[in-house]
Amino acid sequence: MSPQPVNTRHARSVRDVVFVDGVRTPFGKAGEKGMYHGTRADDLVVKCIRELMRRNPSLPPERIDEVAIAATTQTGDQGLTIGRTAALLAGLPQSVPGFAIDRMCAGAMTAVTTTAGSIAFGAYDVVIAGGVEHMGNHPMGAGADPNPRFAAERLVDPAALNMGNTAENLHDRFPAITKERTDSYAVASQAKLAAAYAAGDIQPDLVPVAARRPSEGFTLRTTDEPPRPGTTLESLAGLRTPFRAHGRVTAGNAAGLNDGATAAVLASAQAAEELGLSVKMRLVSYAFAGVDPSVMGIGPVPATEKALAQAGLGIEDIGLFEINEAFAVQVLSFLDHYGIKDTDPRVNRYGGAIAVGHPLASSGVRLMNQLARQFEQDPSVRYGLTTMCIGLGMGGTVIWENPHHADFGKDA
């Protein structure tokens, strides 16, 4: 018998992935009255990339191995392989490659997890990952051509292609989640965001943007446009229900249509140490899951179950939750599943998308930015998660570890 060939290649080991830094533009309202009307989407994400490089001077631009940028509508100023074009426009070396991602609302989250997997594998050391959505330039679903088989073969309820309808369906499935509860949750989201602004917790992650609206001069945008501080239950009670007559979903208890961009630096733990980069979080696990598209908002539940199982953790181990507030009913369905109170202080301490906005593919990194800042403020918390529902029936969850906790990395 001939001897077996000897594998002389080095065995690979999975490397720790850390969240170094993240930034975002102020979020704007979509449409002609919004502050980014007349501003290009790619220019918004370029602002984020440039700010990351400014804030991290010990990171040589040539050490960036990849730029992954998400956009739900990949055409016009959000097209042309936006990860690559944004890298070039931001002044990164031509040697730095880039690509585009689409997972609807979880675009930036997927940009993070996809490149993080490559870092763990050893293909990359440092990456930039983020997302952008200019819903004023690209209304959700504009130009889409759903295959007629979806309706003809009843693969997907046609109503499920409208996210507002899926939120109404969640109300039907969970009658304990009343309109009064969702309105109360929305009021709290607005109040928490206002308190976070007053405490200076939001501003450090914002990139000022000089935006010029048509026929107007440049204005420096430094704060989010969508928040409605002072919102009350009374002011929400009379809002119309556009997705169903006598429904429960309104503009007050759902995220709006918004413009904005985000970006983050991720690195291997070794590269972060070598380059003197900060470590704001360590990635523990991540998972995506599919659900019936007609109840899209329940997606974070199975995604979280998968991510917890991968990490060997239970929901009781999670000390902070950043849940994207596409709709209040979607957040409350998650909380009810795990027996978490609507007012639990671990949940969305700075408020959420109902108040600050949800520019689709960009929102995942906003959640991460806010969790990282809360980790810094609260070293008693070891694990936190970012989670979101995703159009066409999906959910995504990423679990992170707090480097400020006394037991950080002990059993990593």
SS3 of 141, please? Answer: coil
d(CA 284, CA 385): 10
Residue tagged active-site, from 105, 134, 138, 171: 105
DSSP classification of residue 241:
-
Q: Return the number of other C-beta atoms located less than 10 Å from residue 332's C-beta.
A: 25
User: Please, which residues have CB within 8 angstroms of residue 396's CB and are 6 or more apart in sequence?
Assistant: 103, 106, 109, 110, 113, 286, 287, 288, 289, 299, 300, 303, 364, 387, 388, 390
Q: Are 115 and 66 in contact (CB under 8 A)?
A: yes
389 in catalytic set: yes
d(CA 262, CA 369): 9
Q: What's the count of helices (H) and strands (E) in the chain, helices before strands?
A: 12, 12
Of the candidates 182, 180, 181, 160, the one whose C-alpha atom is nearest the C-alpha of residue 169 is: 160
Long-range contacts of range 176-181, CB-CB < 8 Å, 24 or more positions apart?
176/336, 177/329, 177/332, 177/333, 177/336, 178/248, 179/248, 179/253, 180/233, 181/328, 181/332, 181/342
**Which residues partner with 288 through β-bridges?**
396
Residue tagged active-site, from 37, 48, 138, 389: 389
Q: Return the number of other C-beta atoms located less than 10 Å from residue 248's C-beta.
A: 23
Q: Return the number of other C-beta atoms located less than 10 Å from residue 12's C-beta.
A: 9
Helices 41-55 and 82-89: angle between axes, nearest 10 degrees:
60
For 392-405, letters b (16+ CB in 10 Å) and e give bbbbbbbbbbbbbb
Which residues participate in catalysis according to the annotation?
105, 358, 389
